Chains A and B, each alone.
Chain A
Amino acid sequence: MDIRKTLRKLQGRNNEGTLLLVLLAIVIGMSLLNPVFFTANTAFAVLRSATVPMILALSVLLVIISGGIDVSFPVVAIASAYTTVTILLATGTDVPMVVVFAIAAAIGAILGLVNGFVIAKFRLPTLIVTLGTQGVFFGAMLTYVGAKYFPELPPTMAALSTVNILDFTTAHGRANLHVLVLLAIVATLLVWAVLKWTMFGRSLYAIGDDYEGAHRAGFRVVRTQILTYVLVGVIASMAGVAHITMSRAANPQDLVGGELDIIAAVVLGGASIFGGRGSVGGTVLGVLLIQVINNSLLLVGVPSAWLRAAVGILLIVGVGIQAVSARRKAQRVHSVEDVMDLTVAQRKEA
């Protein structure tokens, strides 16, 4: 009994334990297959490529916990960052990085406010609304801000793009850890803290679990929903700035179209598409798992074309197991007799 309890605790509420096990199995398996895999170079490369998806996944996590689905976040990310770069380049001003982030965050917040207002005020399906606003934001950026590709960034951003926290040469070449990985880590910790310790985080789970119930319990549902989408806009804009900085060029067509991949990573991380469930830990594991698989496939020599199929299979298997076990649990309790049987069985076990 005790073993079972500890096992259940290790498994985690959203299957984080299982996910961690799969991740570890892949890492160990890959290291045995190809020693090159278990190096700082690979680890840093994975962290670097996971930075932008991780920050975007955090914004998706917030929406999914609140019971919605947002497909406009990549557009919000690239639109706020690209607009910021365009403003800076057009005016020829050079501002510190903090200001760059602040301008992008302000734009992201405004776009998020539009989403939140329409969704919360009119109680519309989130997927449909964000589908609409996605088109509006994207079209507006390309029409009124510009559709040009900027190969040169403002000086501060260009300078930041080459900064590494760690930079050394190993037997397998240069290994460097980009400074913006820190941004992803800080954002992750902040979102974790908000979800765990603030009233806002609690109301997010409450609304996602049962909108009407949360409303009657006195949660300010409209305000929380609007704030959620504003926050999503701000977080997404951070990802946008990080993406443009790390790719050392501003392309307005970037990121867009990858929304479903990020949602897949978050769902893989155990967040429930019906809302009310999901954790930062699971999301981190989901994002890392996809990046590690991507990297592994390349190392084993499997064409990266298989990545999409691999993620799809992983998603189906992961969600399928959850669905089957949830149904088993639901089937157990159907009538008073079932409940009696269950309690008897539990007593026997004890």
Chain B
Amino acid sequence: MSDSSFKDANNRLDSAVRGVIERAQANRSMLRMVLVFVAAFALFAFLNPRVFLGSLNLQNIMVASPEIGVIAIAMMLSMLTGGIDLSLVSIANLSAITMSTMFTAMVTGSGEFNEAMAVPVLLVGILVGVGCGLLNGVLIGIVGITPILATLGTMQILNGVAIVWTGGSTLYGAPATFTTFGKLAIGPVPMLFAVFIVAAILIAFLVNSTTLGRKIELQGANPVAARFSGIRSKAVLIGSYAVGGALGGLAGFLFLARNPTASADYGASYVLLVIVIAVLGGTNPNGGFASVAGVVIATLTLQVVSSGFTAMRLSSYQYAIAQGVILVAVMVIDAINWRKFRNKRPAPMAATGK
């Protein structure tokens, strides 16, 4: 009896492990990123365990990654359609500025009123993001402008509007609820990180389990086939950029919750960084394939390397080198494997680079 139950449990464990391995193999880039993550974590934990494994450092990783991670997921979504969204950081800043201005305009002496305003302010911020995303979607889906150019344009416009609005200075003022929320934690996990994970799960659900998600995937994999399969490309593109915009608005909230200031040029380096993260997370920049879990792990990996470098007292410049080397190395390793597996057939045309 006990023998058979042991055997049963063993079998179940075996199939579970095999399932995990199979799924991981199906998603090679995901496995690779997990390995890099574990390796980076182990390396820094070994080199400087006292600082790196300190709770402060681990907390910092979890507090700093959400804003980048949410934008990276939005970038992944646009790449999934075969496009790119350069305007995301500008959207996030515009939404943060809107929320900050709105709060400052409405602020009164009563603390209760201020607290009650937090949710409407957040909603307006996200709506600003959706609006900007819709603008992108219309330009790309209906007018037919190449995504990289359309979002390059809206990036400049939204950034310009933000500069004019703020006069180039930093705005102070955010609902106190935002700031307290930014400091809240469930056990060891900061609330901001929980927001990131919830957003990731929602987008993963959208991509994997809804018809819109499947349509987005098909649109990115083969736009012509998608059109002839009766997929309304315009609606799909507008929808996916609107969701991306909403994530941008959410990132604006995360900016404010972490640091109650808003400015037009916050996170300028994020524009290109999130592309790096999306690609490291296994997103095909030509569209059709992406994994939310991969993007989350890539975000954490870069954050681990960044804080590991800080723990090792290396400069942010050296971190920039590491970031570039990781990206190019991962891409090159991928390219080499491609050729071996495919009998030296030329790799698919990738030089356009989008």
A interface residues (Cβ-Cβ under 8 A, vs B): 67-69, 71, 118-119, 122-129, 131-140, 142-143, 147, 207, 211-212, 225, 257, 260-261, 263-264, 267, 273-275, 303, 305-313, 315-316, 319-320, 323-324, 326-327
Taking CB as reference atom, which chain B residue is nearest A313? Answer: B157
Are the CB atoms of A309 and B164 closer together than 8 Å? Answer: yes
Please tell me if the beta carbons of B167 and A311 are within 8 angstroms of each other in the complex.
no
**Complex CA–CA separation, A143 to B159 (angstroms):** 31
Q: Is B119 an interface position by the 8 A CB rule?
A: no
Digit string of B56-93 for contact with A (CB within 8 Å is 1, else 0)? 00000000000000000000000000000010000000
> Are A316 and B154 CB-contacts (below 8 A) given A123-B346, A131-B272?
yes
Which one of B86, B157, B268, B318 lies within 8 Å of A309 (CB-CB)? B157
The reply to whether A308 and B351 form a contact with Cβ atoms under 8 Å apart is: no
Residues on the B chain within 8 Å of A128, using CB? 275-276, 279, 285, 327, 331, 353
Beta-carbon contact of B317 and A126 below 8 Å:
no
Chain B residue numbers with a CB within 8 Å of A313 are 153, 157
Whether the Cβ atoms of B351 and A138 lie closer than 8 Å is no
Could you show 7 A-B contacts with beta carbons less than 8 Å apart?
A71-B272, A127-B353, A143-B315, A257-B268, A308-B160, A315-B152, A316-B157
CB atoms of A131 and B275 under 8 A apart: yes
Q: How far, in angstroms, from A339 to B127 measured CA to CA in the complex?
A: 46
Across the A-B interface, the 5 shortest Cβ-Cβ residue pairs: A309-B160, A312-B156, A135-B324, A139-B320, A139-B321
Partner of B350, one of A124, A309, A324: A124
- Type the 1/0 row for B133-171, where 1 means its CB is closer than 8 Å to any CB of A: 000000100011110111011111111110110011000
Q: With the chains together, A323 CA to B347 CA distance in Å?
A: 29
Interface SS of A by simple majority = helix
CA distance A247 to B268 in the complex (A): 24
| Pair A319/B279 contact, Cβ less than 8 Å | no
B150 contacts which of A125, A138, A319 (Cβ < 8 Å)? A319
Further 20 A-B residue pairs, CB within 8 A, beyond A312-B155, A319-B153: A119-B351, A122-B331, A123-B335, A123-B347, A125-B286, A125-B350, A129-B328, A131-B275, A133-B328, A135-B321, A136-B328, A137-B324, A138-B317, A143-B318, A225-B351, A260-B152, A315-B152, A316-B145, A319-B145, A320-B139
Would you give the shortest CB distance from A330 to chain B, in whole angstroms? 10
Which of B144, B154, B324, B351 gathers most chain A CB within 10 Å? B351
Least CB distance from A15 to B in Å reads 14
Provide the residues of chain B in CB contact with A126, threshold 8 Å: 351-353
User: What residues of chain A lie closer than 8 Å to B325, measured between beta carbons?
Assistant: 132, 136
CB-contact partner of B352 in A122, A142, A275, under 8 A: A275
Find out whether the CB atom of B146 lies under 8 angstroms from the CB atom of A263.
no
**Residue of B at shortest CB range from A128?**
B279
- Judged by a CB distance under 8 angstroms, whether B319 is at the interface is yes
A residues in contact with B139, CB < 8 Å: 316, 320
Q: A264-B152, A319-B150 given as contacts; is B353 within 8 A of A69 (CB)?
A: yes
Contact of B160 among A129, A133, A305 (CB under 8 A): A305
- Kindly name the residue among A71, A119, A309, A311 whose own CB sees the greatest number of chain B CB atoms within 10 A: A309
- Cβ-defined contact, B324 with A127, below 8 A: no
Contacts between the two chains (Cβ within 8 Å), count: 185
Give Cα A327 to B140, complex, Å. Answer: 13
Task: Kindly state whether residue B13 has any CB partner on chain A within 8 Å.
Answer: no
Query: A320, B145: Cβ atoms under 8 Å?
Result: yes
Q: Which chain A positions have C-beta within 8 A of B23?
A: none
B349 within 8 A of partner (CB): yes
B283 vs chain A, min Cβ distance (A)? 10
Which residue of chain A lies nearest to B335 when distances are taken between CB atoms in the complex? A122
C-alpha spacing A264/B87, complex, angstroms? 14
- Report the Cα distance A264→B160, complex, angstroms: 14
Given contacts A129-B328, A273-B148, A319-B150, contact A305 B156 (CB under 8 A): no
Instruction: Tell me if B232 counts as interface (CB < 8 A to partner A).
Output: no
Residue of chain B at shortest CB distance from A326: B144
Minimum CB–CB distance for A291 against chain B, Å = 15
Please tell me if the beta carbons of A118 and B332 are within 8 angstroms of each other in the complex: yes
Q: A129 to B334, alpha carbons, bound, how many Å? A: 13
- Which residue on B lies nearest to A327, using beta carbons? B144
- B308-343 interface (Cβ within 8 A of A): 315, 317-328, 331-332, 335-336
B153 to A315, Cβ gap below 8 A?
A: yes
B197 CB to closest chain A CB (Å) equals 26
A319 with B157: CB separation less than 8 A: no
Q: Cβ of A129 and Cβ of B349 under 8 Å apart?
A: no
A308 to B160, CA, bound (A): 5
Cβ contact within 8 Å between B349 and A132:
no
Q: Which residues of A contact B349 (CB under 8 A)?
A: 123, 211-212
Does residue B354 face the partner (Cβ distance < 8 Å to A)? yes
Distance to closest chain A CB from B350 (angstroms): 5
- Tell me the complex Cα distance, A88–B286, Å: 45
**Taking the nearest CB of chain A, how far is it from the CB of B199, in angstroms?**
24
A137 to B321, CA, bound (A): 7
Select which of B158, B159, B354 is within 8 A of A127 by beta carbon.
B354
B154's contact among A212, A305, A312, by CB below 8 Å, is which? A312
Cβ–Cβ < 8 Å partners of B331 in chain A: 122, 124-125, 128-129, 132
Cα distance A257–B265 in the bound complex, in angstroms = 11
Once A133-B324, A135-B323, A320-B139 are accepted as A-B contacts, the answer to whether A127 and B285 lie under 8 Å apart by CB is yes
Chain A proximity mask over B244-274: 1 for CB below 8 Å, otherwise 0: 0000000000000000000000001001100
Least Cβ–Cβ distance between A71 and chain B, in angstroms: 7
A209 to chain B, nearest CB (A): 11
Q: In the assembled complex, which residues on chain A have CB atoms less than 8 Å from the CB atom of B155?
A: 260, 312
- Per the bound structure, the CA–CA distance linking A316 and B153 in Å amounts to 6
Q: Are B315 and A125 interface neighbours, CB within 8 A?
A: no
B94 to chain A, nearest CB (A): 12
- Smallest CB gap from A261: residue in B: B156
CB nearest neighbor in B for A66? B351
B160 with A139: CB separation less than 8 A: no
- Give the docked Cα–Cα distance between A204 and B317 (Å): 35
Enumerate chain B residues within 8 angstroms of A133, measured Cβ to Cβ.
324, 328
CB neighbours of B335 from chain A (8 A): 122-124
Do A319 and B351 have beta carbons less than 8 Å apart?
no
Most buried by B among A67, A212, A316, A327: A316
Question: Shortest Cβ distance from A218 into chain B, in angstroms?
Answer: 16
Taken together as a complex, chains A and B put the C-alpha atoms of A131 and B286 apart, in Å, by 16
Q: How long is the Cα–Cα vector from A211 to B149 in the complex, in angstroms?
A: 22
Indicate whether A308 sits within 8 Å of B156 (C-beta atoms), given known contacts A123-B347, A128-B327: yes
